[in-house]
Amino acid sequence: MQKIAIIGSGIIGITLANYLDTTKYDITLFDEGNGQATKASAGIISPWLSKRRNKRWYRLAKDGAAFFQKLVTDMNISNDIYAQNGTILLRKNGLESLATLAEQRKRDAPEIGEIKLLSSNATTNKLPLLAPQESLYISGGARLDGLHYLDYMKKLAAQKQIHFISEKVTLEKENNHWQINTPNQQMSADRVILAAGPNCKTLLEPLGYQVDLRPQKGQLIVFKTSQTQSVNWPVAMLDNEADLIPANNGQVIIGSTHENEEHWDLHPTTAAFEQLTTNSKDFLQFPESLLKNSFSYRVGTRAYTSDFAPFFGPLTEEPSLLVASGLGSSGLTTGPYIGYLLANYINEGTWPDTDYQKPLNTYIQK
Ligand SMILES: Cc1cc2nc3c(=O)[nH]c(=O)nc-3n(C[C@H](O)[C@H](O)[C@H](O)COP(=O)(O)OP(=O)(O)OC[C@H]3O[C@@H](n4cnc5c(N)ncnc54)[C@H](O)[C@@H]3O)c2cc1C
């Protein structure tokens, strides 16, 4: 049986592992369990009205959002992990042109669902946390609870006899196989998949590669409230870099910061609290009532390339080494689909003929 090592069990690694053919492969997942972006994430799956102009990224994100229907069925994912409750978009100006864009995009992304301009009262009715203001609602938007997704998919993987090793890994090539080293053990593998977020750079550099990747710190705050209906509420994308995500058990998340100078730091800061609450206050119905609840922080590290686009696939000169990283702030949306595409490639040798990314050597060179 071919031995496969997956380094990193974030959203890419764990989804990939669950789609691999366990009758053909002996699979081990390694994760040092630190700073996982997936665990920290806000959870919004709603890429269609992004201001980004990168067409390859948009195709990937749109197809990634559509892929959730298959993922939910294949893996039997419950509503408390993935819920398609819609998205509310708030804009001081330009809601009509946003609605027009949504109608255009819906032609090849029917998952957008119903598109509706909401009056002030209708906005508050849909999401009572919001102050009365006009908005755009799209029914296809969803939220994914990254932490619970990982827990659930890990259980599924364990049932499929996939092994887990919770240690930090370094990688070496010896003759025709890969050597995976941890502080306590060594394992050899025929194939390796690096799904280690920004750490793909650290793992590839000792093998002689230059990698275009950098870490970015992201923080969000999670309020505990008594809002029992929050589980059915849509997410809201506010007009100024802040989002409001009602979650399970009355939790309400306000996210996220994008801190480029903080690199790998995982400490929560009061500056992040100030920034996020200041940016969201004007949009909230009773800010003082929400913000007085007890809260906790979540902090994670995103991976970015210079052109903010993800990359994934086998290295040309080392086809037994596959990589996937650079998912930035939309990796919950694109990550499961990337994991699935990589699994298909390993299982069947098939690769999508859609142009989702620049050539891999744009980001990784020897
Ligand atoms: C605050 C925040 C909010 C976000 N909100 C959203 C959102 O609303 N919507 C959205 O689509 N995306 C969002 N994202 C982005 C998304 O979370 C990430 O892009 C995605 O989770 C990346 O997944 P990944 O599998 O590539 O990496 P990760 O989830 O980071 O997993 C990589 C894993 O590799 C492991 N690892 C690294 N090096 C080693 C090593 N040497 N040995 C062993 N293990 C190693 C790490 O421990 C880690 O667990 C958000 C991110 C953050 C930080």
169 lines ligand 1 (CB under 6 A): yes
Give domain status of residue 72, yes or no: no
140 lines ligand 1 (CB under 6 A): no
Q: Which of 113, 130, 4, 105 is nearest to 48 (CA)?
A: 105
330 prior amide bond cis, ω within 30 = no
Q: Report whether pLDDT(121) > 70.
A: yes
For the chain, what is the domain count? 2
330 lines ligand 1 (CB under 6 A): yes
333 lines ligand 1 (CB under 6 A): yes
Give the domain-ending residue among 283, 304, 325. 304
- 92 exposure class (CB count in 10 Å sphere: 0-12, 13-18, 19+): exposed
Q: Report whether pLDDT(34) > 70.
A: no
Give domain status of residue 151, yes or no: yes
Q: Report whether pLDDT(252) > 70.
A: yes
| pLDDT of 347 | 98
Ligand 1 pocket: which of 6, 15, 32 to mutate (most atoms within 8 A of CB): 32
Give domain status of residue 266, yes or no: yes
| pLDDT of 228 | 78
Percent over 90 (pLDDT), the chain: 89
Ligand 1 atom nearest residue 217's Cα: 53
- Do 239 and 138 lie in a common domain? yes
How many angstroms is it from 12 CA to the middle of ligand 1?
Answer: 8
- Per-residue pLDDT band for 35 (boundaries 50, 70, 90) equals low
Supply the DSSP symbol for 355: -
| pLDDT of 229 | 77
Contact indicator for 25, 3 with CB cutoff of 8 Å: yes
Give domain status of residue 342, yes or no: yes
CATH at 118: 3.30.9.10
| pLDDT of 286 | 87
Overall average pLDDT of the 114-134 stretch: 96
Overall average pLDDT of the 135-148 stretch: 97
How many angstroms is it from 332 CA to the middle of ligand 1?
Answer: 8
Percent over 70 (pLDDT), the chain: 99
- Do 192 and 262 lie in a common domain? no
Q: Given the structure tokens 């298959």, which residue do they identify? A: 70
| pLDDT of 259 | 95
- Do 189 and 205 lie in a common domain? yes
- Do 111 and 251 lie in a common domain? yes
Contact indicator for 337, 63 with CB cutoff of 8 Å: yes
- Do 271 and 299 lie in a common domain? yes
Ligand 1 atom nearest residue 299's Cα: 1
| pLDDT of 146 | 95
- Do 235 and 177 lie in a common domain? no
CATH at 359: 3.50.50.60
- Domain span holding position 202: 2-38+147-212+307-365
- Do 250 and 153 lie in a common domain? no
User: Which residue has its alpha carbon closest to ligand 1 atom 31?
Assistant: 10
Overall average pLDDT of the 320-344 stretch: 98
